[in-house]
Chains A and B, each alone.
Chain A
Amino acid sequence: MPMSANPLATLRRYELVARVLRSNIAAGAIPEGAVLKEGPLAERLQTSRAPVNAALRVLSDEGRIRRLDGQGYIVEPVPGGQRRASGGTAALDALDIPPDVARALGTRGTWQHFYEQVEREVAASLIFGEYRLVEAGLADHLGVSRTVSREILGRLHERGLIRKSQSSHWTAGPLTARILRDRFQLRAILEPAALRLAEPYIDYAAIEGISENLALKAHQVDDETLEEALFEAGAARAPNVELVDTMRRARFLPLAANRALVELGLPGSTVDRAEYHALFGLLARRRIDAAAEELRAHLQLMADKSLARLKIVAVLGGSATVAPYLTEI
């Protein structure tokens, strides 16, 4: 990952949006009872709707906002927060966007508009085999210049999704059981250690919120959201940029593979809620060593599940769902 003057530039777009909303709710700029809608927020933050949607789901899982049927989300009470008389749409002009976040959102050029889509499509193809990507083909498909397509490919390379073959062609995949197992092993080594380092910096409020929600049986949160929240509030707080960066890269492929499987219709939630409840509970009670040990065991289980799930792909044709700029080798 390139060095950057703005540490926020390495965050994903939805994380930036979530950050803005969180701080505005906490400060009362978005009061209790206000309604948040995807479209107006996207316009105000000058971003597309997808990251806003993802950010709203994160905040909902944290218990800060609650979904209204098809009408966006309503802001939940904050201790000591202002109360709005009627639940109208939030006045977004008052939204405080910290300058560093605005810069991080603003410094994103054209290629960023396409990057997440391409990343998702390439990641989804890996489980089906080995593919070739051509700069010009990608540019044509997206309707962008070759400079933009080159930047996208460069970023995919950085994230470990594609590599240059001996004949200098960009290739992706295949995602094998071996690669998946190795990634999980790496995570099982790094994440518990990072969690211990992060002890003073852990976002205990977020952890406690999720832990309480998990205790309520009715509260349904998918595995991926819980995994992300656990990581972002915990191990990712470790005061070691290099370590956090390495962890992010190690997490990426398993996550992408899992997303692709869910999109193919595989049932998403496979981990017992009690396991997450135990994990978040230990963290909430500041029992870091026990939590780190639990996390290691949890990652082992996730590895086994992922391997079993990868086998399922064998019975799926797959080629129909692979993006047209990917050519099977």
Chain B
Amino acid sequence: MTLPGAPAIRRIDRRLRILGTEVSLIEPIRHHAEADLGLSLEFEVLDFQNCEHKAATAPDSYDIYDQCFHNLDIVWFWGALQSIDTQRIADWDHVSPLTREGRISKFASPGYGDRPVSRLYVQPNGFLGPVPSRHVAMLPTVHNFDSFGFDRRVFDAVDPEGASWALLLSPRAGGRAALVDEPAIGLLDAALAAEASGAMCFGDLGNLTVAEIDALMALLEDRRRQGHFRCLWRTADQAAELVRGGSVSVQSMWSPAYGGLGAMGDSFVEAVPAEGYRAWHGGLALARHLQGAPLDMAYEYLNWWLSGCAGAIMARRGYYMSVPERVRQSVSPQEWAYWYEGRPAEIDLPDPFGQTAVRAGSRRPGGGYWNRARHVAVWNSAMDEHNYAARAWARFGRAMRQGGACP
């Protein structure tokens, strides 16, 4: 109640606008964060390419950018972001060595390409680099180790454990192969397949030369003409739909898609690639325009992401968080055992929306978190020739769509 004559108290607009992708911007996250922080959140969910375009060209349209480390180059050098002061991040010391140091342990493979640590710290000259400093460009959050999935009825002799990326280019796919439509992701799935099949040999898998990009795209174009590819997809839902509809026998896969395969869930399995995973790492970045109270609010939101609750929600869609110990405190022992330790599920486990995602008795392919994190072949990467690669990839995508193969 306001007494007559009392000074009016200015109500602060407790509202944050988050720009990101379907990877992390889901309703359960919004509900929990709003309840815990007492603020209102607006999520703008775009696909990867449209998201980074908007982040770079309309930096005033959002407060927080929730995306992947590999496209930081683009948004950072556009001057759309400001650095994050790690001294304002309560759990900074608990963030995993996977990002802070570049690998999960001394004996793990760091992987080719844009390791998150190489984009993490703000260097004195304004660049991003691996030398630790107080300020970071992106707060590391959700991440995963991706592979591909395949239909065991088609590839009946292939054991998912140790299956090769070469399967994506196998003639046995019979015109029912698909890739994720993103030049910093799908192109690397294709490169892994090309190298694994012996068709090509790259000097640096995470930083292809123009000649290597040309050769890879020529190989893909050749396969396209032969009708090898069914489609390119952009969201996990599209990927799941392709499997459910029986349109693909092998394709790039993202973790949440496995929960939506329905009756195909028994035959379409996740590979544990012999060559290693294609890894990615997401995070949160602060828009340049933030200051004062909105900036404080943004830091509240960043800290909330590391507090455990967000990690629990993300775990239920198969994603890992940069602060595993905090997640452990926020999930049930059965969930922790299945998602992080790679042990068989003791009971049915839910997805973030409460639907059963994992049936009792099943076991996550690839084992526990620390085992999977040791086997990174390559990180999603915006390589030096990204501009060239992205244009070549776009031409491939146009040719696919003109062929009537894509939605």
Question: Which of A129, A176, A312, A315 sits near B210, CB closer than 8 Å?
Answer: A176
Given A270-B126, A301-B125: A315 touches B388 (CB 8 Å cut-off)? no
Q: Which A289-329 residues sit within 8 Å CB-CB of chain B?
A: 301, 304-305, 307-316
Q: Mark B116-129, 1 if CB is under 8 A from A, else 0.
A: 00000000011100
- CA–CA, A310 to B386, complex, Å? 8
- CA–CA, A270 to B49, complex, Å? 25
> Contact between A272 and B73 (Cβ–Cβ < 8 Å)?
no
> Contact between A178 and B56 (Cβ–Cβ < 8 Å)?
no
- Look across to chain B and name the residue whose beta carbon is closest to the beta carbon of A315: B53
- Look across to chain A and name the residue whose beta carbon is closest to the beta carbon of B128: A308
> Contact between A311 and B73 (Cβ–Cβ < 8 Å)?
yes
Q: Number of residues in B with C-beta < 8 Å to the partner?
A: 25
- CA–CA, A326 to B56, complex, Å? 27
Given A177-B388, A266-B78: A312 touches B125 (CB 8 Å cut-off)? no
> Contact between B77 and A177 (Cβ–Cβ < 8 Å)?
no
Interface: A70 (CB within 8 A): no
Q: Which B1-49 residues sit within 8 Å CB-CB of chain A?
A: 49
- CA–CA, A313 to B52, complex, Å? 12
Find chain B residues with CB under 8 A from A272 CB: 125-126
- CA–CA, A327 to B363, complex, Å? 55
Question: Which of B74, B127, B183 sits near A312, CB closer than 8 Å?
Answer: B74
Given A311-B74, A314-B74, A315-B56: A127 touches B125 (CB 8 Å cut-off)? no
> Contact between A174 and B388 (Cβ–Cβ < 8 Å)?
yes
* Contact residues of B: prevailing secondary structure: helix
CB distance from A129 to the nearest CB of B (A): 5
- Look across to chain A and name the residue whose beta carbon is closest to the beta carbon of B393: A314
Interface: B133 (CB within 8 A): no
Interface: A79 (CB within 8 A): no
Q: Number of residues in A with C-beta < 8 Å to the partner?
A: 26
- Look across to chain A and name the residue whose beta carbon is closest to the beta carbon of B183: A314
Find chain B residues with CB under 8 A from A177 CB: 384-385, 387-388
Given A311-B382, A314-B183: A127 touches B77 (CB 8 Å cut-off)? no
Interface: B406 (CB within 8 A): no
Given A177-B384, A314-B390: A308 touches B73 (CB 8 Å cut-off)? yes
- Look across to chain B and name the residue whose beta carbon is closest to the beta carbon of A174: B388
Find chain A residues with CB under 8 A from B238 CB: none
Interface: A265 (CB within 8 A): yes
- Look across to chain B and name the residue whose beta carbon is closest to the beta carbon of A316: B53
- Look across to chain B and name the residue whose beta carbon is closest to the beta carbon of A308: B77
> Contact between A178 and B210 (Cβ–Cβ < 8 Å)?
yes
Question: Which of A174, A304, A314 sits near B386, CB closer than 8 Å?
Answer: A314
Find chain A residues with CB under 8 A from B388 CB: 174, 176-177
- Look across to chain A and name the residue whose beta carbon is closest to the beta carbon of B127: A304
Q: Which B45-92 residues sit within 8 Å CB-CB of chain A?
A: 49, 52-53, 56-57, 73-74, 77-79
Given A311-B73, A312-B77, A314-B391: A265 touches B384 (CB 8 Å cut-off)? no
Find chain B residues with CB under 8 A from A309 CB: 77
- Look across to chain B and name the residue whose beta carbon is closest to the beta carbon of A179: B210
Find chain A residues with CB under 8 A from B382 CB: 311, 314
Q: Mark A108-145, 1 if CB is under 8 A from B, else 0.
A: 00000000000000000001110000000000000000
> Contact between A313 and B126 (Cβ–Cβ < 8 Å)?
no
> Contact between B384 and A315 (Cβ–Cβ < 8 Å)?
no
- Look across to chain A and name the residue whose beta carbon is closest to the beta carbon of B395: A129
CB distance from B157 to the nearest CB of A (A): 40
Residues of A within 8 A of B (CB): 127-129, 174, 176-178, 181, 265-267, 270, 272, 301, 304-305, 307-316
Known A308-B73, A308-B77, A314-B382; further 15 A-B contacts with Cβ < 8 A = A174-B391, A178-B209, A178-B385, A181-B384, A267-B78, A305-B77, A307-B384, A309-B77, A310-B387, A311-B73, A311-B387, A312-B73, A312-B74, A314-B74, A315-B49
19 example contacts (A-B, Cβ-Cβ < 8 A) are as follows A176-B210, A176-B385, A177-B385, A178-B385, A267-B79, A270-B77, A272-B125, A272-B126, A305-B77, A309-B77, A311-B74, A311-B384, A311-B387, A312-B56, A312-B78, A314-B74, A314-B382, A314-B391, A315-B56
The 4 closest A-B pairs by CB, nearest first: A314-B390, A177-B384, A267-B79, A314-B387
